[in-house]
Structure 1
Amino acid sequence: MPYSNDIDIYRLARKKRRRGHGVRWVVAGREFSKWFTTEALADNERSMLKQAAKKGESFCTETGQPESVAREMKALTVYDLACEYTDLKWAKAAAKTRQGTSEALAILVPALVKSTRGMPDPQLLRDSLYQWAFHSERRQAGPPPGEFESPLTWIRAASLKVTDLDAPGRRSELIRKALDALATRTDGRPAAAKTVARKRAALSGLLNYAVERDIFPASPLTKVKWDLPKASDQVDRRRLPGPALLRRLLDTALVERPDLAAFYGCAYYAMMRPGEIVALTRESCASLPKEGWGLLSFEGSSPRAGSGWTDSGETHDKRQLKHRAEREVRNVPIPPKLVALLQRHLDEHVDPGQSHLFRGKRGGPLSESTYGRVWQQIRKRVLSPGQFERGLAGRVYDLRAAGITVGLNGGVPVPELAQRAGHSPAVLLRVYAGCLDGDETLWNARLEAAFEGLAPISSKTGQTPDFGL
């Protein structure tokens, strides 16, 4: 909506009609007028316009109103804006993004209400928002289920106007209230730092959309200083198993669940994300030689999001590679051990007419609950009680992190390793530059030699070279 400071306000006008007292003014050459039944009402309107102009406030060239009044006229409730924002993002968003955004908005909107009087059960209110109001397809398909009607009626009436969030006297209180709600779990305990950061991003997106809608001149979130819980991007080094331990884990998988051994091998040796492994096909394994290194070529990922959030109605979303354009292929050289695992898997566990390498019992995508549960059973068999309790190799994703860290510590150039892992070099260094479990002895020996003024410890022999020092 265009605004201008080219304003002329005329004297009060008088006409012989029921509303005979008028206010006339011009904004950027366009004339506007309002008529009142009494001279006092007209004079109040003219004074309001003059005061706004005196403060330097711009006037809307479409409505003729001062900017503050024009924005108030356009204001939606927070609930209505959240519904619009959901619809705007829905079509192009990944299923996990849809789910995460709706979850954040279902917490945020009930925190921004005029009053909690008559507020329905909090869990029922969140469910009605998460499962219907902020699920574009369900909302557009028809009225909500019967149990959601009352909570939704209440939130529509109780929701604050969006413009209240930038009101000088209330901005800090309301924005902090919203952020505190996002940072608290339903049981009252603080939410994890990464969860808070993700939900705060949803609030930021909503307020930036209000700026785009010309409701705010700038996001009020930037005007409130609120300390975001500190989150570390770096992988926890205590979770990363060393190569010897990983070989034992994979050997155990080959005995206990041979149909999943290659799955875990892809996570470690090819540094693949679980969703990428689920999407692997025969075509991805076209370059598996009988001896030596092979090559995996893949372009898709199938992260699990739930059937209610995907376009296909399946539990897994079919997406391009993370942070990559559609149909962009990643080529990953794989060592002979993984080549052998994949060849064995193809021979013994993939039917002739089957395309995907890893499927569930009913023929659908392999579920996270299946490969995650089996991995916990393997960990119990191999790890000591202390290692198991502290979360060593606690997730399948930790195998990918261990593979990347092995490459870093082995001296593989960062750009090459980043390309294989599907990361940017900067992210790879920031997230995965941890130390493997069990390598402290070598690093300690090198430090001790340095402190004593000796030559560095050899990584091959583990001994200090004798240079006659």
Structure 2
Amino acid sequence: MKSYDVKFWKIKRNASSKQPSYVVRWVVGGEKQSTTIRGSELAKNYLSDLRQAAKRGEWFDTVTGLPESMLKAKNARTWLEFATAYVRIRWPHQAATSRQAATESLTAVTPVLVTDRRGRPSVDVLRRTLRDHVFLPEDRCSEPGHEGAAALRWLEEASLPMRDLEEPRHARAAVEALAVLLDGKAAATSTFRRKWAVFHHALEYAVELGELAANPLDRIKWKPTRQSNAVDRRVVVNPRQARELLTAVSYVGRTRGPMLVAMFACMYFAALRPAEAAGLREQDCVLPEEGWGQITVTKTRPQANKRYTDSRRTFDERGLKHREEDEDRPVPIPPELVAILRAHIEAFGTAPDGRLFYTRGGGTFSGSAYAAVWREARTYALLPAQVESPLAGRPYDLRHASVSTWLNAGVHAPEVAERAGHSVEVLLRVYAKCIDGQRDVANQRIEKALSE
């Protein structure tokens, strides 16, 4: 029986379970529903999926408690049907970059999760069909041509039943597909880990819906290589080098370089991420004539393929990374950056919506555009050997330099983490190797202890 009368309760810890598990509870048409999920984040995601379905106006089944979209995924007979439903369920509350990552990952594994049938199209055709006509919301899927329609029919007939994914050999084949790029070369560890995480989450979702008894990835002896994610100290510039690079940016092009100096300065003096700097507005800034000012980071403008953004443009406006949607982050800024921003506003003004950094057409500088300016500026500011080195190889390295400078100056880690938008744990793990002088301090303390 279908019902639109849905109420949600808070997630509660399952006290009777030895291993941490959580109970998601809701009511459909007066019928109480619940499911127990291992892991608090998975439980939160599951409840979020239910809430999103209700927001979209989907009916809920009073027997299973599931909304229309999740019921389709649960009743899916093949991997292709399940993966398509999974993408569409997750789409509304994912960022554009996460949507793109999901599509890329599922597009990589789906061609190997098939039976051996005659008439198999080429891998390129299969991937193009999945990317353009399958793993998108229905209103974004274009009609495939003759070649794409034939490939889609073949996939529908050849796709493995969901129960077959419980065989480790199929999970292993999928992981092997994730480990290589389109050209057959081995994928970078970070790329593999990102795609593996998406596939793992999709299978966990299948377990939650009862499509699989257990996640088959947990049974194969192939785990993503652990990464420290620590910043390479070779990319970190010192204050003198940073200022020389900012000056060099002003020499690039007739207007583009001068318009980007302040944006790069925000990355260095305020440790803003590029997407945060791109979303900075005049109303977010306190810029006194003397002394320290403040930037309140409220929005970001991450870049993604148009097919994955809500606006159908290259940039979506979103909330801050790892924070609630309406949460902001105040960052005190030194007088030097205050002066740079005041001069920038006086010279270039703002976009109609108040943004400080915009193109002639009022848009946002693309990553390739400001990266090209940065590459040229490095050739002006650095020695030839330094240009060939990793030193400040990317604009993002200015943020690394900023955080490293704060830590080396003795600013307490919690304060640095708050300004940079990190947790203290991530901050120390990522930047530990960039804190100069700590080895000498440690040696002195050990020597003093041994002499007592």
Alignment correspondent of 2:205: 209
SS of residue matched to 2:264: helix
Rounded Cα–Cα distance in structure 1 between residues aligned with 2:98 and 2:351: 36
Rounded Cα–Cα distance in structure 2 between residues aligned with 1:302 and 1:388: 29
Instruction: Indicate the SS of the match to 2:201.
Output: helix
Instruction: State, as a whole percentage, how many aligned pairs show the same letter.
Output: 40
Determine the structure 1 residue equivalent to 2:124: 123
Deviations 1:11-54 (A, max 9, x none): xxxxxxxxxxxxxxxxxxxxxxxxxxxxxxxxxxxxxxxxxxxx
Output aligned runs, 1:83-162, within 5 Å.
83-115=84-116, 117-138=118-139, 143-162=143-162
Deviation for aligned residue 1:210: 1.2
Give 1:447 deviation, angstroms: 7.7
Deviation at 1:443, TM superposition (A): 6.4
CA distance in 2, matches of 1:375, 1:84: 42
What is the distance in 2 between the residues matched to 1:228 and 1:336? 45
Which position in structure 1 is the counterpart of 2:163? 163
Deviation, 1:384, is: 2.0
Q: Does 1:220 align with 2:216?
A: yes
Q: Secondary structure at the match of 1:301?
A: coil
Match of 1:219, as an amino acid?
N
- Letter in structure 1 aligned against 2:344: H
Task: Report the Cα distance in structure 2 between the residues aligned to 1:226 and 1:209, rounded to whole angstroms.
Answer: 20
CA distance in 2, matches of 1:424, 1:412: 15
Amino acid at match of 1:383: L
> Deviations along 1:307-364, whole A, 9 cap, x unmatched?
1111111101211000111121110000111101100000001258561111123211
* Equivalent residue, structure 2, for 1:464: none
CA RMSD, aligned part only? 2.3
Unaligned runs of 5+ in 1: 1-61, 63-72, 456-469
Q: Which residue identity lines up with residue 201 of structure 2 in the other structure? A: G
Q: Which amino acid aligns with 2:163?
A: T
Q: Say whether the 8 Å CA contact 2:248–2:378 is kept in structure 1.
A: no
Distance 1:361-1:123 versus aligned 2 partners, 3 A rule: farther
Larger Rg: 1
2:343 match: secondary structure: helix
Q: 1:305 deviation in Å?
A: 0.5
Structure 2 Cα separation of the partners of residues 253 and 132 of structure 1: 42
- Mapping 1:3-22, distance limit 5 Å: none
* Displacement of 1:250: 1.3
Q: Check conservation: 1:75, 1:163, Cα contact below 8 A.
A: no
1:244/1:223 CA distance change after superposition, 3 Å: same
User: Residue 384 and residue 184 in structure 1: after superposition, are their counterparts in 2 closer, same or farther (change >3 A)?
Assistant: same
- Alignment match, 1:349: 348
Q: CA deviation at 1:212?
A: 2.0
Secondary structure of the 1:331 match is: strand
Alignment of 1:36-55 (within 5 A): none
Name the structure 1 match of 2:241. 245
Matched-pair contact (CA < 8 Å) for 1:132–1:138: no
1:198 Cα shift?
0.8
1:207 Cα offset (Å): 0.8
TM-score calculated relative to the size of structure 1: 0.75
User: Any idea what SS the aligned residue of 1:188 has?
Assistant: coil
CA distance 1:269–1:217, shift in 2 (3 Å): same
Q: What secondary structure sits across from 2:306 in the alignment? A: coil
Shift of 1:399: 0.5
Map 1:270-309 onto structure 2 (within 5 A). 270-285=270-285, 287-309=286-308
CA contact (8 A) 2:129 2:151 kept: yes
Per the alignment, in what secondary structure is the counterpart of residue 381 of structure 1? Answer: helix
Q: Secondary structure at the match of 2:330?
A: strand
Matched, 1:195 2:194: no
Residue by residue over 1:78-111, the C-alpha shift from the partner in whole angstroms, topping out at 9 and shown as x without a partner, is 1111101001101111110001100100001001
Q: Contact (CA 8 Å) 2:228, 2:429: kept in 1 or not?
A: no
Q: Deviations over 1:52-82 (max 9, x none)?
A: xxxxxxxxxx9xxxxxxxxxx9562111111
1:11 aligns to what? none
